[in-house]
């Protein structure tokens, strides 16, 4: 796989519903059906992340593959587990679209990293995403809108490849953030 190809990524520390793994997996069969050259790289471990364990003592990956696996061309779905920084950079360099889904919880570094890199990001319209989505040009869909999520991923995968244009977001710039934290804590610089 190389840059310019239709490569979709999903990244989480662990594959679980709090980070929308179930929504991503339910959307994936239709995305791959509509984009026959697309590949999905799924980064994340099988542990219990922020939520609860999958039913029946399975991992969430096993649970979702039992639900939708027969609808997937597994030659185009690549589960790579938890990977180190160097391997992650290799994945980030080839992706065309990044899928990010989260419940109203804490925003993940993977969302900001992908959006700031300039790659097309499709995400859930939930409060932590909403805080940054407009400023970063991120397309969103309602949390349970699997069809809307599919449509946005397909649209972005089908779009003409473009050079990445990294973005800046002054609200999270380190010096500004540290200054604001000192103000909040009442600590002088």
- Domains of the chain, first to last: 7-185 (3.40.50.2000)
* 186 secondary structure, DSSP code: T
pLDDT tens digits for 92-137?
999 999 999 998 888 888 999 999 999 999 999 999 899 889 889 8
The answer to whether residue 144 scores a pLDDT higher than 90 is no
* Residue 45: partners with Cβ closer than 8 Å, 6 or more residues away: 13, 14, 15, 81, 82
- pTM here? 0.88
β-sheet bridge partners, residue 14:
45
- The backbone torsions φ and ψ at residue 95, rounded to the nearest 5 degrees and listed phi first, read -70, 150
Percent of the chain whose predicted confidence (pLDDT) is above 70: 99
Spatial distance between the Cα atoms of 21 and 99, rounded to a whole number of angstroms: 10
């Amino acid at each position: 796989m190389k840059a310019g190809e239709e490569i979709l990524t999903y990244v989480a520390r662990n594959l679980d519903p709090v980070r929308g793994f179930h929504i991503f997996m339910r959307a994936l069969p239709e995305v791959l059906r509509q984009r026959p050259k697309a590949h999905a790289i799924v980064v994340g471990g099988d542990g219990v992340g922020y939520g609860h364990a999958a039913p029946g003592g399975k991992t969430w990956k096993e649970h979702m593959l039992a639900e939708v696996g027969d609808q997937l061309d597994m030659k185009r779905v690549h589960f790579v587990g938890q990977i180190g920084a160097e391997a992650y950079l290799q994945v980030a360099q080839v992706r065309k679209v990044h899928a990010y889904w989260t419940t109203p919880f804490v925003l993940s570094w993977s969302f900001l990293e992908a959006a700031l890199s300039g790659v097309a990001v499709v995400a859930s319209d939930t409060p932590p995403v909403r805080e940054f989505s407009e400023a970063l040009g991120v397309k969103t869909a309602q949390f349970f809108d699997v069809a809307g999520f599919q449509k946005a991923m397909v649209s972005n995968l089908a779009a003409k490849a473009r050079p990445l244009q990294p973005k800046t977001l002054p609200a999270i710039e380190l010096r500004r953030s540290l200054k604001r934290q000192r103000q909040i804590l009442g600590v002088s610089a």
